[in-house]
Amino acid sequence: MRYKKINEVKTIFNKISCSYDFLNTLLSLGLHKYWKNELVNSLKPIDGENWADLCCGTGDLSFLIFKKVSPNGSVTGIDSAKEILNIAKRRSKLIGNKFICWEMQDILEIDENIKIYDGICMSYGLRNLVNLEEGLKKVFNILSDTGRAGFLDFNHSKLNSIADLFQKIYLRFVVVPISKIFKLSKEYSYIEKSIKSFPEGNKLMQIAERVGFKKVEYRTIFFNQMGILLLEK
């Protein structure tokens, strides 16, 4: 079951990789860049720190973090899907960025003995993990003693709230039909399913506390559509 889901997720992201950035920008009207900036600004990375962007996809967060921690720090973008990571590498090459290190790896498999980061960020990745609590535990274990982490994802709103209804209408009547033009409707229908099994904000905070984080904060943005989870050890 575990490996079936891991492979399912990998297959989805390898398949959508070519259209991923374009569809993200189109479907969010460019707002995903603003939300990612908001996450990075909340985390306040500074020059000299070592950061990891987990589930980095095509690397949006890695490029934002790079601007803050260079020239003395480091950024590692990690993703398990080869094709989407190749796009991140190509983006780096195109702008001559040799600073960011790209690694193809399942984040649940990261060696906890050799990786220690000052900060970890993740956008739209947590929801896709086979085991969310295991993912947060991994983040906890690869952070330094004073490390911090931040996660941006869809907010799982209360059932039948205005935010919930808006989200469903948007996903069913905007996202899926548009992705159908790109022959990716099956892959994009997955979003609604994954939000349904994604914990609400207060539950996310409880899980984070359970794995050991001392400071835990969750806030919603964009009319409760997105959520930002901020954690400190």
Ligand X SMILES: C[S@@+](CC[C@H](N)C(=O)[O-])C[C@H]1O[C@@H](n2cnc3c(N)ncnc32)[C@H](O)[C@@H]1O
What is the Cα–Cα distance from 51 to 110, expressed in whole angstroms?
14
| CB closer to ligand X out of 55 and 100 | 55
Asked if 142 touches ligand X (CB under 6 A), the answer is: no
Least distance (Å) between residue 88 CB and ligand X:
9
Asked if 164 touches ligand X (CB under 6 A), the answer is: no
Binding mask 175-194 for ligand X (x = CB under 6 A): --------------------
Binding residues for ligand X, total number by CB under 6 A: 19
Which one of 124, 140, 198, 213 is in contact with ligand X (CB under 6 A)? 124
Which one of 123, 157, 179, 225 is in contact with ligand X (CB under 6 A)? 123
Q: E strands of the chain, at which residues?
A: 50-54, 74-79, 100-104, 117-123, 143-154, 215-221, 226-232
Phi and psi dihedrals of 43, rounded to 5?
-85, -20
Phi and psi dihedrals of 117, rounded to 5?
-120, 150
CB of 134 closer than 8 Å to CB of 141: no
- Using CB under 6 A as the criterion, which residues of the chain lie in contact with ligand X when the complex forms? 9, 13, 55-57, 60-61, 79-81, 84, 106-108, 123-125, 128-129
